[in-house]
A and B are shown apart, each in its own frame.
Chain A
Amino acid sequence: MTEAKAVRVSLAQMRPGQKGKIVEINGGYGLARKLEALGIRTGKEITKVSEQLMRGPVLLQHNNTQAAVGFGMASRVLVEVDGEG
C-alpha cells in the first residue's frame, strides 16, 4: 500500500483541470500581494482552469474567483498536487 505522494510543481507546469494547494509564492511582494487581494494565498486550494498556447496566460480558480496571470507569474507560484492526479 503506497500513499499518493504529493508533488510540487509550478502553476505553469500543472495540467489544465488539475487541483492543488499553493505552498509558495515567489517573485516578490508584488505578485503575492496581487494574488492575496483576490484571496489567493499560500495554503489555499486552487484549480488550474486553462492555459494558452505559446506560454500565454494561465487561468486559475479559487472558490468563486477566477484570475488570469501571465506565464512568468504562474511559474513563480508553487503548488502541491497529488502524485497521481
Chain B
Amino acid sequence: MKILLMGNPNVGKSVVFNRVTGANVIASNYAGTTVEYTKGSMRLGDTRVELIDVPGTYTLEPTSKAEEIAVEMLSEHTDGDVVINVVEATNLERSLNLTLQLLKRKIPIVVALNFWDETKHKGISIDHKKLEQILGVPCIPICAVTGEGVNHLVEKIKEAKPSNYEYEDEERWHEVGDIVNKVQNVTHRHHTWLERLGDASVRPLTGIPMAVVVMFLAFKVIRFIGEGLIGYVGEPVFENLWAPVMMKLSAFMGSGGFLHDLVIGQLIDGEIDFGQSFGLLTTGLFIPIGAVLPYVFAFYVVLSLLEDFGFIPRLAVMVDTLMHRLGLHGFAIVPMLLGLGCNVPGALSTRVLETRRERFIAATILSIAVPCAALQAMVVALVGEHGTGYIAIIYGTLLAVWIILGLIFNKTVTGESPEIFLEIPPYRIPYMRSLLKKIWIRIKWFLKEAVPFVLLGVLIVNLLYTFGIIQFVGKITAPVVTRVLGLPKEAVGALIVGFLRKDVAVGMLIPLGLTIKQLVVASIVLAMYFPCVATFTTLIKELGIVDMLKSAVIMVVSSFVVGGLLNLILPG
C-alpha cells in the first residue's frame, strides 16, 4: 500500500510528510520546493506503509516538468493506494479544483484542510463537516507546522474511499463555485500588517529599497555569524584542544615519515598549522569543520529564514526585469540563491524553470559565477587578510561574469524563455521548530557531503605530491598557468583537486606564498573553471551529456579568459 501526498504547490505537503514520517525533507514558503518526489514510510496501525511526497500541482493537466512527475505518479497507483489531498483552507476555491479532478480518478482520498489556523485571521469560516458530506470523503482540518490535527488525519486514512461525486468536466469550476458557496463564509476584515508589508515589498518605490536593505543585512548577518563562530569557536577549539592531541600523536608517530605526513601533515616550525600542514586529521578536519561549517551554518540560517518568511518570490518579482536580459525570468533567482550555499541543490532547482534554454543558461551561469559557501569561506579567510577591497574585486568580477555570460547566452542560445508566472504566497512568521529542523537537515547534508570529500581531497593532495604528479603536470601546463594566469606552476595542483572540493583547492594555495594579485586570480579561476564532482554529476543528470559538455567548454574557456584578463589588468 502506498500513500500519495498531493495538492497545489506550497500548501505544506512536505511539512505533513515530515510530521508523519519523522523524516526530514526541505519545506519552504514558495512553490516548487519539492521538484522530485520523496519517499518515506509511516506506521499505520500495525503495518508500515510507504508515503510519497509528490511535487505540487495545480491541475492534472500538467503545465511544467514538476507537474508532469505528479501526474505520472498518480497514474502509477495500484489498488489499495490512498491519496492525501492537502488543501489550502485559505484558498479553498482553487484547491478544490484539483480535489474534484482527483475525485474523478476514483482513488480513495482523504482531504487535509491545512492552514486551518490562518483561516481565522483571514475572516474565513469553513464548514468542514458539510464539505465532507458533499465530497463524500473525509475532510480533516489540520495545521501542519504545529502538528495540530495531523494524528486525526492519520487515523482517518483507513476511512479513505473513492468518492461517488459526479460532474461534467466543463462544469468543474461551476461545481467548485457551488461547493465554496455552500461551505465557506467570508467576513470582512482589515489587512494585517503582514499583508501590508507583503504589498509594500512588491511596489517598486518601497520594494526596491526593501530588497536592497534585506540583501545587505543578509550579507552582514552571514559574515557576523560566520566570523564570530570561526573566531570564538572554530579556531580556539582546533588551536587549544585539538592541536595538543595532534602534537602527541605526531610525536608518537615519530614526527615524520610517509604515514605521519598523511595523517598529521608537515610540521611548520615544529608546530601544526591547520591551514598548511595538510594531514588528514589536521587540515582535513579543519577545512570542513573549522573554516567552512561556520559560514555554511550562517548562510543557511539566513536563507531558511528568508524562505520561510516568503521573501524569495517577492525578490523574484523585483529582479525579473534584470533576469530577462539574461534569458531567464525572476524565479531563476532561486537556483542562484541556493547555489550560494552549495551548487548541487542550486543545479537541482533549475527544474523550476520551464524550458531547456532557461535550464541550460541558469545551470551554466550558476556553476561558473555563483561560488558555493565552502569556496567563499576559504577565499574570504585567505584574501580577507589583505583587505576587503580584494574580496570586493572577486565578488565584483564574478557578478560581472554572471551578467555578461547571461547577456551573451540570451543572444546566442536558441529556444524559448517564457515570462514569469509565479504565485506569491503570503508572508508568514516562520515557525521556529520547522525552521531549526530545516537548518539542521541542511547542515547534516553538508557534513555528509563535505567531510568525506575533503578527506579524500587531502589524501589525494598528499599522493599527488608524493608521487611527483603535481610537479609533472605543473611542467606540462606551465605555459597556460604561468604565462596566461601568472601563477606558479604548483598552482595546477589546486586546479586538479578543485574538481573534488573547491575549499581544499583554495587551501592548497596557502603554502604557495602567492602575491595578493595571484590569490585574486587563482580564487576566481577556481570558482569558475569547472564544477566540483558533486555538482558535475548533478549537472549531467539535469542537462544531459551533450549540454553538459557544451557547458563545460564554456566554463574552461571563460575562466581562462577572465583569469588572463585579470592578470593583465590588475596591478602588482
Contacts and interface: CB of A to CB of B under 8 A. Distances in A.
A67 B314 CA distance: 10
Contact of A70 (B173, B203, B204, B419): B419
Contacts of A63: 91, 93
Contact of B199 (A37, A49, A65): A49
A64 to B, nearest CB: 5
Given A33-B61, A33-B63, A50-B203, A56 B421 contact: no
Contact of A54 (B122, B321, B330): B321
B199 A70 contact: no
Interface in B318-335: 318, 320-321, 329-330
Interface string B103-143: 00000000000000000001010000000000000000000
A66 B423 CA distance: 6
Interface in B8-38: none
A55 B318 CA distance: 12
Given A33-B61, A36-B173, A57-B317, A67 B203 contact: no
B163 interface: no
B436 interface: no
Interface in A39-85: 39, 41, 49-57, 59, 63-73
Interface in B293-352: 313, 316-318, 320-321, 329-330
B218 interface: no
Contacts of B198: 66
B316 to A, nearest CB: 7
B99 interface: no
B173 A50 contact: no
B426 interface: yes
A16 B259 CA distance: 70
Nearest to A56: B321
A34 interface: yes
A65 B91 contact: yes
B221 interface: no
Nearest to B93: A39
B421 A73 contact: yes
B223 interface: no
Which of B58, B90, B198 has the most C-beta atoms of chain A within 10 angstroms of its own C-beta?
A: B58
Interface string B403-420: 000000000000000111
Contact of A34 (B63, B90, B97, B330): B63
Range, interface on chain B: 35 or more
Contacts of A72: 419
A38, A51, A57, A63: which has the most chain B beta carbons within 10 Å? Answer: A57
Contacts of B329: 70
Contact of A30 (B63, B90, B122): B63
B400 interface: no
A37 B97 contact: yes
Nearest to B330: A57
Contacts of A38: 58, 94, 423
B225 to A, nearest CB: 31
Given A16-B203, A37-B58, A67 B421 contact: yes
B194 to A, nearest CB: 13
B66 interface: no
B283 interface: no
Contacts of A51: 204
B257 to A, nearest CB: 64
Q: Which of A41, A54, A64, A70 has most B Cβ within 10 Å?
A: A64
A52 B204 contact: yes
A37 B59 contact: yes
Given A34-B63, A39-B97, A63-B91, A52 B320 contact: yes
Contacts of A33: 59, 61, 63
Contacts of A37: 58-59, 63, 94, 97
Given A39-B94, A63-B91, A63-B93, A68 B313 contact: yes
B424 A73 contact: no
B441 interface: no
B94 A68 contact: no
B424 A68 contact: yes
Interface string B239-264: 00000000000000000000000000
A69 B420 contact: yes
B424 A50 contact: no
Interface string B54-93: 0000110101000000000000000000000000001101
Contacts of A67: 421-424
A50 B124 CA distance: 25
B202 interface: yes
A59 B424 contact: yes
A34 B58 CA distance: 9
A32 to B, nearest CB: 11
Interface in A14-40: 16, 30, 33-34, 36-39
B206 to A, nearest CB: 9
7 contacts: A33-B61, A63-B91, A64-B426, A66-B198, A67-B424, A68-B421, A70-B418
Interface of B: 58-59, 61, 63, 90-91, 93-94, 97, 122, 124, 173, 198-199, 202-204, 207, 313, 316-318, 320-321, 329-330, 418-426
Leading 10 A-B pairs by shortest Cβ distance:
A70-B419, A39-B94, A37-B58, A66-B424, A56-B321, A50-B203, A68-B317, A50-B202, A68-B422, A39-B93
